[in-house]
Structure 1
Amino acid sequence: MFFATRMTVGMEGCSRRASTQADRAKSISWKTAVKADGLCTGNNLFMQDAVIAGTGKFDEVRLPDSQIGGQFGLERATITNPTGPALDADGLRADNGLFMEDATITGAGELGAIRLIGAHIGGQAVLPVSKLGNSSGPLLVPNDAQIAGAFVFPPAVVCSASREGMSRLGCPDSNRTIKAHGLTYPSLSAISWRQRLHLLAHHTPTYWPQPFQQLAATEHAAGHDNNAREILITQQHDLRRRTPHALGNRLAQWRHAPWGSLGRYGYRAHRLVTALAVVRALGSGLSLLAGHVTTHPDHHAAERVQPTTAKLDTPGTPCSPVELIGLGIDRGLPLGTTGIRTHCDFDITTGWGQTFTAARWGLQALLWSLATLAIAAYTCLVRKPS
């Protein structure tokens, strides 16, 4: 008997079922571990107000591969283990939910204070614990866990100030970490998407793409597409910050940064359109300036094209402002021309004319590059999935 006479549970696989309406361990104190590997009960399992203290590496509440047909409740429980996990529930199956309101759980070590690896929670997972601590490892490890209902996890459980988003300055509480690779849930509660994003960016020991994508999928399913895009943008920022080698060689890493600044990795394609408009305006302004720069008497860097029969000392004819602006547009068109250059163009026989022409080539190359990126972004060809 590992609990107390008030608890009746099947201990040998699922060959026996609990005969009571709900299995309870309430207001009871143990000074040794609760070991119930493979426990199986068709009813609820409550350990409300229980006080459990372990003293060894595996002296904790152990429920790996257990099956609970109802709810598993640790409300107001106090579980402490200074040398190992406090709750080991890897592979746990709780068909009607997991509840830890106002619990105090303190563990130690790299295995984590609360372990829920591969767990399946049929209802809600409600984890608003009053205190969760680990002096030398992660607080919560729900890798590959599946939650069928809402995931209720207040940010203050990990980050005392409930901070939001990703910060270049980091987080003062970044030593309080969680691991959540493979965790799936349909919705979040008691935490905003920005607070959850902060936990992923600053309170996970290593970068994993799946938690970001899971959060983005949750926001997308709720109809918040803009939030989902912001999450995926932050994912790319975190990828470059923590695992730049995953992007490839130095050239690929260098491209990643300006691509993020210009187009937000394809998730903010309208920024590329704005950049296109700015470069287009610069091109027109450059041509307009060239029409007012004197190269030699009676000639400008951009002017009317003279007939082939004109003499060398024939004075040049200035282009109108509209023609000069049209020249800038014509020079920047990726495909086709407006025909303006047949009667107004840069005079490449002069130094200033060659300088303006070279500058225009540079703007034209940039314009074409931005146009290509904009098309790729709108067609989702360059969004990074990982």
Structure 2
Amino acid sequence: MLSYDELTSPERALWDAFPEGRRVDLRTGAPEDNRVAEGGRWGPERTVRAAVIAELLLGANTAQPGAVACLRLAGARITGRLDLAGAQIAYALWLKGCWLEESVDLLGASTQTLVITGSRVPGIEAYSARLEGTLDLRHSVVESLASSPFNHVSTALSLSDALVTGGMLLNGTEVSAPGGWAVAAGGLVMEGGVTCRGGFVARGEVRLLGAQLPGGLFMQGAHLVSPGPHGTALALDNAVASTLDFSDGFTANGTVRLRGARISDNLTFEGAVLNGPPGDGPSLVALRMQAVDLDFTPAQPPSGTVDLRGAQVSHLHDSRNSWPDVVELDGFVYGSVKAVEAGERREAVGRRDFVAHRVAWIRRSPGYNPQPYEQLASWYRKDGHDDDARRVLLAKQRHRRRTLSPAARVCGHLLDATVGYGYRPWLAGVWLLALTLLGTLSFGAHSPHPVKQGEGAPFHPLVYTLDLLIPIGGLGQRTAWYWTDGGLQWLAYLLIAFGWLLTTAVIAGVTRALQKN
């Protein structure tokens, strides 16, 4: 333990101010002398040893009656490592505009509010720490730790398994661990909100695996400019949060992972830029993600794949330019869809172009999967738009046809042309009317020969044509007359064949439609 006589002048000022919570400001009046980036050049008159700060926070100078002890220091060059690992700290720490020579170690510590703003810090280790209050690092530069006993890659801000009863403020903060983990916070419990607005920059992966964020994560305008070792910019796998806000120019040059994340309210990418890692890496991976409201209206289509397999949302908002060339949708479930057009959000129903757009959206998914079509058709039916649902199911059958054998594709084309796979039964009526007209005109221009002279009903071209087309029962015309003209006889055979084909197609198509509806 240091004695008072061993303290330097700025350290004595800090020692004397601590019991009353007074701030010690070592900054000069000249702005050029207070640039934190050049804090390593500050002289003894602005230098405070980290050991002095640690002793004060551990109760070396007790509080005055009627005052709240607090360490407040501005404009200082802090030498040595601020080692508070495992400590029980009853006082808040406020550092503003300071340059720290070495890292801050809060491993397993229990402390109060920690504020390090506008400062330069070579790493913060707070693994399994408990912070009663707020963690405020606004406008600071936090660089990677030289080493960490719990992370195998370089890390700038380590909060794994930590508990913060307040919020975390990272507005304007630059957290830098290129090729490593800018933030390692797996298992973090942050009872307040996490805000990363106002120019927040992360160089390296931001890891919040399994984090609990009931106050939400707000990253409007944040820039994740350098992906981690696996091309991941932000990892929120299995995290639980009230809100995830990646809007207003949020930029991720790497994969954003939300696998298994549960968002009780809003997940938004409005105005975001999702570049994805170089090559064929995905821009967004949200397998089995759950959210109430998903706003996917980025500033431009993501450069890589968007994976929503198994995800569930109550409300989906998107636009015609939201999606990349490849979208994984198998198992994606949503309660409603609203399209954003000219700044307005409207239900994506009641217009054929909306249906075509939705079908084209599903076609962006590799291969053939029936579930995305069934999901979309189910939503249209639930909203009372059965015609749109039938268009979607027809598109599903046409997509499925591509995966079949050549013989099955031929049957599929027949069903499509005649009854639209049962979803357009009126097509059979069109074919029947056209063939009836053809037969009536062709047979009415010629005279047939009776099978038995003087017997049978008189010849009627219309009835004779219908008798050929209807394979069940009989109208007495087909068996009573025959043709010596070879062309008309072949036309009769052709109409019989078409009658059987139309009947078979109608039965198959209607059966399929009834089974699906």
Normalising by structure 1, report the TM-score.
0.71
Residues 251/180 of structure 1: CA separation in 2 closer, same or farther (3 Å cut): same
Aligned to 2:44: none
Greater RCO, CA 8 A, separation 6+: 1
CA contact (8 A) 2:190 2:212 kept: yes
For 1:72 and 1:139, locate their aligned partners in 2 and report how far apart those are by CA, in whole Å.
Answer: 19
CA contact (8 A) 2:271 2:298 kept: no
Shift of 1:336: 1.0
Which of 211, 215, 222 aligns to 1:66? It is: 211
Task: Name 2:53's counterpart in structure 1.
Answer: none
Distance between the aligned counterparts of 2:376 and 2:125, measured in 1? Answer: 40
Distance in 1 (CA, whole Å) between partners of 2:393 and 2:420 is 9
Mapped to 1, the partners of 2:363 and 2:390 lie a distance apart of 15
Task: Check if 1:260 corresponds to 2:450.
Answer: no
- Alignment check: 8 A CA contact 2:450 2:481 kept: yes
Distance 1:332 1:304, change over 3 A: same
* Alignment-mate amino acid for residue 481 of structure 2: D
Change (3 A) 1:337 1:207: closer
1:107 paired residue among 233, 250, 253:
253
1:218 to 1:276, Cα distance in 2 relative to 1, 3 A = same
- Distance change (3 Å), C-alpha of 1:157 and 1:259: farther
Q: What is aligned with 1:227?
A: 388
TM superposition shift of 1:319: 5.7
Deviation of 1:261 after TM superposition, in Å, equals 4.1
Residues 1:158 and 2:158 are matched in the alignment: no
The match for 1:92 among 232, 239, 247 is 239
Residue 330 in 1 paired to residue 462 in 2? no
Change (3 A) 1:206 1:332: closer
Alignment of 1:199-238 (within 5 A): 199-202=361-364, 204-238=365-399
- Match for residue 267 of structure 2? 125
Aligned residue number for residue 75 of structure 1? 220
| One-letter identity of the residue aligned with 1:151 | L
Q: Residue 337 of structure 2 aligns to which amino acid in structure 1?
A: L
Q: How far apart, CA to CA, are the structure 2 residues paired with 1:276 and 1:2? A: 79
- Percent identity between matched residues is 26
1:142–1:181 Cα contact (<8 Å) kept? no
Gap change, CA 1:380 and 1:239, over 3 Å in 2: closer
* Superposed displacement of residue 80, structure 1: 2.4
Q: CA deviation at 1:328?
A: 0.6
Query: Residue deviations 1:3-26, cap 9 Å, x none?
Result: 9932799843xxx75422x44432
What displacement does 1:329 show?
0.7
Aligned residue in 2 for 1:142: 286
Query: How far is the alpha carbon of 1:372 from its aligned partner?
Result: 2.6
- When residues 333 and 232 of structure 1 are mapped into structure 2, their CA distance, relative to the original with a 3 A threshold, is closer
Cα distance in structure 1, aligned partners of 2:193 and 2:424: 48
Q: Is the 8 A contact 1:102 1:129 kept in 2?
A: yes
User: What residue number does 2:57 align with?
Assistant: none
Tell me which residue corresponds to 1:312.
none
Tell me: CA distance 1:285–1:175, structure 2 relative to 1, closer, same or farther (3 Å): same
Alignment deviations for residues 280-328 of structure 1 (CA, whole Å, 9 cap, x no partner): 4333344334xx2xxxxxxx3x24554279xxxxxxx9966xx111111
Partners in 2 of 1:154 and 1:258 — Cα distance?
A: 40
Structure 2 residues without counterparts, runs of 5 or longer: 1-123, 127-133, 138-156, 304-318, 341-347, 349-353
Q: Is the 8 A contact 2:468 2:495 kept in 1?
A: no
Richer in helix (by share): 1
Q: What is the aligned counterpart of 1:19 among 154, 165, 168?
A: 165
Q: TM-score, normalised by structure 2?
A: 0.55
Q: CA contact under 8 A between 1:267 and 1:383: conserved in structure 2?
A: no
Amino acid at match of 2:286: P
More displaced 10-residue stretch of structure 1: 27-36 or 275-284: 275-284
In 1, distance between residues paired with 2:502 and 2:457? 32
Q: 1:319 to 1:307 in 2, by over 3 A?
A: closer
Query: What amino acid maps onto 1:142 in structure 2?
Result: A
Summarize the Cα distance change of 1:357–1:92 in structure 2 as closer, same or farther, 3 Å threshold. farther
**Alpha-carbon distance, 1:131 to partner:** 1.7
- Cα distance, 1:174–1:6 mapped onto 2, change above 3 Å: closer
- Tell whether 2:494 aligns with 1:362: yes
C-alpha separation in 1, matches of 2:385 and 2:192: 38
What is the identity, as a one-letter code, of the residue corresponding to 1:345?
W
